[in-house]
Amino acid sequence: MDSAPRRLAQLPLRTPCSVLAVHGSRPVRRRLLELGLVPGTRVEVIGVSPLGDPLELEVRGSRLSIRKKEALTIEVKT
């Protein structure tokens, strides 16, 4: 069942979702797009550091870490 758009940082661990849009400042948005977080891409938060920042993501078979404030700029749909 699809839900309303949410931010990537707000999802529980291991919840598969699709990127709808990347917001934020131009340099941050550009870097996230370069990392493969483009609209339509499947992404999953697979880990969070003990202090809650950064988040570990699985994107297109690769793992990457981004800051929580950057994850809040990524609009997703489950």
pTM confidence score: 0.88
Burial class (CB in 10 A: 0-12, 13-18, 19+), 66: buried
Per-residue pLDDT tens for 7-37? Answer: 999 999 999 999 999 999 999 999 999 999 9
Question: 5 falls in which pLDDT band (50, 70, 90)?
Answer: confident
Q: Which residues contact 10 (CB under 8 A, 6 or more apart)?
A: 72
| Encoded tokens for 31 | 């870097």
